[in-house]
Structure 1
Amino acid sequence: MEPEPEPEGGGTEAQAKDACLRLLTDRARSRHELETRLAKKGFTPTVTAAVLDKLAAAKLVDDGAFAEQWVRSRHVYAGKGKQALSRELRHKGVSIEDSSAALEQIDSEDERRRATELVRKKCRTLSLPDADAPDARAERDKTVRKLVGMLARRGYPQGMAFAVVKTELDRLGADTEDFDGDRFG
């Protein structure tokens, strides 16, 4: 029996399937991610589509399930907020419908709770200035910008980030009476 001829410009469906299965052993991937990787390996769009359709039928490629798992994992372990997660899913080629459904598993209270955990963890390594020090307000404002910026980079809304930081600094005994959220925007 002769081996299956390689299509021009790429490999066989069996080779593409093997490549996908190797990629899926590392972690779940979106269909778009697999398409991109197969294209880089030189597989034709026809071979790629056929293989991905078969893997989808076998439930090995499912963007909805991928999005749910991605959101849960990145929110819990990487501390990402909904905005960042939405960007990541869009970058991975997940549809708006699948992204929206996955992001619904995080409500604003979950997001606030996770932001609070991140700020508390960061506050353990920061030294808050003594309220009586001459540059206490400037140092406190610098700390606020650092903490709000950390949350913003992780995809938390600015208003929530500022409120969480203010609450946590109050809890730690920092003077926040003169806070003005617009000053930190």
Structure 2
Amino acid sequence: MMRGSAGRREGGGSGSGTAGSGGARSRGAAAGDGGTEAQAKDYCLRLLADRARSRAELAGKLDGRGFAPETARAALDRLTELGLVDDTAFAQQWVQSRHTHSGRGKRALAVELRRKGIDDDIAADALDAIEPEDERARATDLVTHKLRSTRIRDDAEREKVRRRLVGMLARRGFPSSMAYAVVAEHLPGVEEEFAGDLDGE
């Protein structure tokens, strides 16, 4: 009886191993033959459930998964027809979110959209939604936020802070002329800041 039970257990283990190997071969074959349009669409939908993506991003993901170019193209065309892949909407959403929440200027946003594979004309239209006064207001917010925790004791320190603030705005993609103007407008003088500290003491 014990041998029979052991035999059945061994047989069951062997069967499971065969099924597992078959499943692995099946998955490998699906990847090896370029997959199907349905599989490609399903994969894209899972990616889109995580966050919005451009068509070029999705194409890159499909290529990385081994989908054939024609299969990927067909899947993306179908998702585009359904409105689930829309580079214009993606660009508008990306610009608004990154400008508002991450403090990115138009120049930096243009680079980001290019990296996402967004067409230049679509990117330009999305960036046009940011008015010059809106961009300056966002730069001002960034500078004044930094200055809240800054204390300036002498001219050398003031110059160091000025360079640091201008550099911050430049790295975030704001025009250099705007960066210098905003910092000059809001950076306090040494005497003004020092007097405030003395009053507080």
**Which TM-score band (shorter chain)?**
0.7 to 0.9
Q: CA deviation at 1:10?
A: 2.4
When Rg is computed on C-alpha atoms for both structures, the one with the higher figure is 2
Write the distance in 1 (CA, Å) between the matches of 2:163 and 2:189: 18
**RMSD of aligned residue pairs (Cα, Å):** 1.9
Structure 1 counterpart of 2:167, one-letter code: G
Percent same amino acid at aligned positions?
A: 54
Structure 1 counterpart of 2:48, one-letter code: L
The aligned counterpart of 2:66 is 42
Distance 1:38 1:138, change over 3 A: same
The aligned counterpart of 1:168 is 186
Give 1:102's match in structure 2, choosing from 111, 114, 126: 126
Write the distance in 2 (CA, Å) between the matches of 1:8 and 1:115: 50
* Count of paired positions: 165
TM-score by length of 2: 0.78
The aligned counterpart of 1:116 is 140
Write the distance in 2 (CA, Å) between the matches of 1:22 and 1:124: 43
The aligned counterpart of 1:28 is 52
Write out aligned runs for 1:9-88 (5 A).
Answer: 9-88=33-112
SS of 1:28's equivalent?
Answer: coil
1:88-118 CA-to-partner distances (Å, cap 9, x unmatched) read 0000000011000000100110000000000
Give 1:138's match in structure 2, choosing from 153, 156, 161: 156
Structure (1/2) with the larger helix percentage: 2
Q: CA deviation at 1:7?
A: 7.4
Write the distance in 2 (CA, Å) between the matches of 1:125 and 1:141: 16
Structure 2 counterpart of 1:158, one-letter code: S
Query: Which structure 2 residue ranges, 5 or more long, are not aligned?
Result: 1-25, 192-201
Structure 2 counterpart of 1:41, one-letter code: R
Task: Tell me if the contact between 2:32 and 2:66 (Cα under 8 Å) persists in the aligned partners.
Answer: no
- Which consecutive aligned stretches of 4+ in structure 1 deviate over 6 angstroms post-superposition? none
Write the distance in 2 (CA, Å) between the matches of 1:49 and 1:70: 23
